[in-house]
Structure formats: C-alpha cells, structure tokens
Amino acid sequence: MAAVGINNAVCKKDRGCEITMKLARLAPITAALTLVIVTAAPVLAHPLGNLSVNRYSRLEVGAQSVRLVYIIDRAEIPAFQEKSRMDANGDGVISEAEQLAYLKRETPQISANLAFQVDGVQVQLKPVSQTIEFPIGTGGLNTQRMVLVFEAALPDDHGAIRYGDDNFMPSLGWQEMVVRAGRGVKLSGDYPTKELSNELRVYADDLLAKPPGISSVTFDYESGIVADELPQSSTGTGIAASTSVPAVQAFVSELLSRKELSLGAILLTLLGSIVWGAAHAMSPGHGKTIVAAYLIGSRATSRHALFLGLTTTITHTAGVFALGLLTVVAARYFVAERYFPYLEALSGALVVWIGLLLVWNRLKPLLRKSGSGAHQHVDDHAHVHEDAVAHTHDHGDGHVHTHEPPTEVTWRSLLSLGISGGLLPCPSALVLLLSAIALNRAAFGLILVVAFSAGLAGTLTVVGLLMVRAKDIFTKFAARNSQRRLLPYSAGLLRLAPVFSALVITLAGGAITWNALAQAGVL
C-alpha cells in the first residue's frame, strides 16, 4: 500500500479511506475481469441510443405516379415493446402469421399519418409491399426494421407536391427525407437529394449528435421533358445501424445468453454488470457534476458521499424496476420512447428546485454580512472574524486556521439529491433487465440491475470522495495562504464556493430539463 501513500493508522479514523483501501485490495480481481471483458466478442447496438425510433422517406417522382419508400428503424427498447404487441398468443415466438397480421394492422395507421398532397389536395397512398425483420442489438435484444412501399397517382403532368410525416411524434431519432426525379421529370424548389444513411443502414457519424429532423418537404414537378442531371447520392462515412458496443456489454450479454449458468458465470455476470454500470456513469450526464458541486460547496465528509451513493443506487434500481414492469406489462399503453423524456424532465426539475434552495440558503449569510458589515476583534492572538462568512485565526505561532462558511450538510438535502439523480431514466439498465426477461431469467435480471446500479452509484461515490478530499486540500491551502499571501483571492474564493456550487447544481438541472423537453418536442 506504500505505492499509493495510504497510512493504515490514519485510515482507521476515516471510514471512507478504509473503504478505499479495501477496494484497492480487489485490484487483481478487477484487472482479471477487465482482461476477460476486453477480449469478449462484440455484440450489436444502436448508434442513436436504445430508445430511438428512426424514419426514412424516399419519394421517387415519375411521369404519372410517385413511389414512396418508407422505412422505420426501432432500437432495442421500442422494438421489445413492439414484439410483445405482435406476439398475439403469448408464446414468445413471432410467427410468420403474427408478422403478417401486425403489418396488416400497422400499415394503415402509419399511412394515415403521412400527408401527401398535390396542389393542396390530399392524394391516397396505396400500399404496395411490406417487410419486417429483427436485427440483433444490445444484450441479445432485437431491433426492428420495417420497409413499407406506397404509390400515389399524379392527377396532372405538373403541380406542387407536399409530403409530411407525423408518425411517432414526438420521438428521439433520425428523420431523413430524399426526393428523386424519374426519367422525363423535372423538379424545382428546395428539397433534399442527398442520401445520408443508406436507408437507415449507416448513420453519418458527424450527424449523430444532432440527427436530421426533416418532417415535411415541398417542391414542384413537371413531367414530359428531359430532366436535368440529378445530384449523385452519397452516404459518406458513418456508423452502421448495428455496430460494435463496448466490450463490457458484450461480455455480460454473452454470459447472460448462455443456456446454462454455472456459479462462476453468475459471479462474472454480476461483476460485469457492476463494471458496466460504473463505465456507463462516466458517460455524459448521470449527476457527476451535481454530486461534485454539492459536496465541494458544503461541509461534506466521506460518510455523506457514501450515503449519496447508496441513495442513488436504491432510487435508480427502483426506477428501472418500475420502468421494466411498465414496458413489459403495459406495452400497449406505455410507449417508453415517448415517456422517458418527461421522466428525465421531472428529475431535472427536482434538481433545479434543490439548487435554488441551496443558492438561497448559502446566499443568506453573505447578504447578512453585507448588511451589517464585518467586524474585527483584535486581541493577544490576533483573531479576525467576518460575520457568518469566514473566520481566519492567526495565533502568532505559525498556525493559521480558516473556517468555512456555515454550509452544513443536511441528510434531507442529500436524500433529495440522491433521489433526483436516481430518477434519471437509464435505457442501458432497462436493456439489461429486458434482455434477462427475454431469456426467461427475469429474477436474475433484477439482481443484475441492482449490480448495474451499484456500479453506477460507485462511480458517483468515488467522484464524491475525491471532491471531499479536494475541498479539504483547498481549505488547508487557503488557511496557509492567509498568512503567506501567495494567492490574494483564495479566501474570497472559499467564501463564494458554496454559492457558486449551488448555482452549478441549478444550471445542471436546468440543462437536464431543457434537453428532456426538447427530446419530447415541447421546446
């Protein structure tokens, strides 16, 4: 342990340090597990996320008719719900007859939400063909790809066409439209001609952060003449609709899909789920900024960081259980990709509320100080007090003590913060649960979600412990600096840190809420 500079005697007085030492002893096991994970075979995932529903429309304008190729690419979670709707007899197998019945039922509903107008008059889109397939995705779950082809007659040899797609609104995903002119047809207007995704097979990597959202297109057509040379379609480089996922997910998925699970495989699957959750927590979001801002701006200890991690684990697990139950049991009424953004917005709103309360509570001492003014008391030990803001003591013996502002941590605020963070919906954990359910291992799936949540909360706890340690270091530095004057503004920064951290929490909650409402189509 000398390599990491941890003193056993000191650690016995610090519960957080003692836990860190125990975790360090697990390093050989963790290294072995990491080696197994890295060498695991990849599985498939959706590049736009497990909740996305993606659409593609291609209008091929001929001399007398228009052909519409309409493609739907559902990621793992919405595809799971659709499969439960397709399985009419509940045997877990989607037969050809059930697929045909599903297509016969869904095609008219999809067509009803497609607006195809010529000179302002609605023209009927007649179905020509329908196909469906289920590519394998994350955790062994299927995705869903539907290809529907329609045709519509053109009433004249010229006119204005408007096409609109109102299916799955609002939903998170790719919305692409392409217009092509047939032989002897000329098109004019502002319309998309470039192929971006090769019919939702390869997504352009430079557009994944902000995928296209084209829901309508308008242009003029004229037939019976020689068409201009059309722009060449291009897909460029990108990420395939089914692409490799991090090896940890592949590792867990491969173990989970085995017909027989030995004790060793069960333990490795649990460890893999913990690592998966921990790695997932390192992706954007998941409350790391909020946890760091709260703990660094208050008199937090390692106990507070551990409690925050435990609260997040319990809330996150309960939330995934509830969402999994709704996804499976209420598939006909609960459409996951539509409601997830609202749950995320609720979580963000709670964070904003907590942040605003913290801003007010931490700002009040500063306001009292500015109203009454600081008083200075000088005695033999040269004590300098600033009312309710910061205390600096110089005892003349080379020891300088600086006390932080009175921003005590309350268990109530920690509980609220942990609950709000745990409420953030987590598609990856839900995919893990649904994968187990699909393999008739629902009980084991519940245990794996607990392990996943523990890994996620473990990352947040480590972040919290690091922030507590960083705050202590900065406080000691400010205390020494008050005598040496190495950094003139360190005391001021220390006084303002609690208010600043509360503002960071508020802004982070606002960003969560804004992004969620944007996904829901509200903003």
Quick one: which of 98, 96, 97, 78 has its CA closest to 88?
Answer: 98
For residue 193, give the amino acid letter: T
Q: For the segment 202-253, what is each residue's pLDDT rounded down to a tens digit?
A: 888 777 778 888 999 999 999 876 544 444 444 445 666 655 455 666 677 7
Specify the residue for token string 């268990």: 411
Q: Given pLDDT bands bounded at 50, 70 and 90, which one contains residue 150? A: very high
Burial class from Cβ neighbours inside 10 Å (0-12, 13-18, 19+) for residue 518 reads middle
The pLDDT assigned to 241 comes to: 63
Residue extents of the structural domains in the chain: 53-243, 284-368+389-519
Pairing of strands 175-181, 53-61: parallel
CB 193 within 8 A of CB 178: yes
**What residue has token string 């013996």?**
397
Q: What is the pLDDT of residue 390?
A: 45
pLDDT bracket for residue 281 (50, 70, 90): confident
More confidently predicted of 449 and 171: 449
Contacts of range 463-466, beta carbons closer than 8 Å, 24 or more positions apart = 463/288, 463/291, 463/292, 464/291, 464/292, 464/295, 464/300, 464/304, 464/305, 464/306, 464/308, 464/309, 465/16, 465/20, 465/302, 465/305
Q: How many angstroms separate the Cα of 314 from the Cα of each of 319, 419, 421, 456, 503?
A: 9, 8, 11, 11, 27
Q: Please give the Cα distance from 83 to 98 (Å, whole number).
A: 10
Residue 7 neighbours by CB under 8 Å, 6+ apart: none
Res. 109: pLDDT tops 90: yes
- pTM for the model stands at 0.68
Kindly give, in sequence order, each residue whose CB lies less than 8 Å from that of residue 503, ignoring residues fewer than 6 positions away. Answer: 355, 359
Asked if residue 192 has a cis previous peptide bond (ω within 30° of 0), the answer is no
Contact 296, 470 (CB under 8 A): yes
User: Any idea what the Cα angle at residue 453 is, between residues 451 and 457, rounded to 5°?
Assistant: 120
Encoded amino acid at 289, one letter: T
Residue spans of beta strands (DSSP E) within 224-343: 238-240, 243-244
Three-state DSSP class for residue 315: helix
Q: How many CA atoms lie within 13 A of 8 on its CB side?
A: 3
CB 152 within 8 A of CB 123: yes
Long-range Cβ contacts of 471-478 (<8 Å, 24+ apart): 471/295, 471/296, 471/300, 475/402, 475/404, 478/402
Q: Which residue has the tokens 């056993």?
A: 8
Contact predicate 390/494, CB 8 Å: yes
Identify which has the larger pLDDT, 32 or 349. Answer: 349
Q: What is the pLDDT of residue 247?
A: 66
516 vs 125, higher pLDDT: 125
- Structure confidence by residue, pLDDT tens digits, 401-439: 444 444 566 777 778 877 877 777 788 888 888 888 888
Q: What is the pLDDT of residues 55-83, one digit of tens each?
A: 999 999 998 899 999 999 998 888 988 88
Residue 484 pLDDT:
52
pLDDT exceeds cutoff 60 at 103: yes
* Greatest mean pLDDT range, 59-73, 223-237, 371-385, 445-459: 59-73
Q: What pLDDT, on a 0 to 100 scale, did the predictor assign at position 26?
A: 45
Res. 104 pLDDT band, cuts 50 70 90: very high
Distance of CA 412 to the CA centre of its chain: 26
Residue 434: predicted pLDDT: 86
Tokens of 383: 């004590």
Sequence-distant (≥ 6) Cβ neighbours of residue 404 within 8 angstroms: 299, 390, 475, 494, 498
Task: Give the pLDDT of residue 16.
Answer: 47
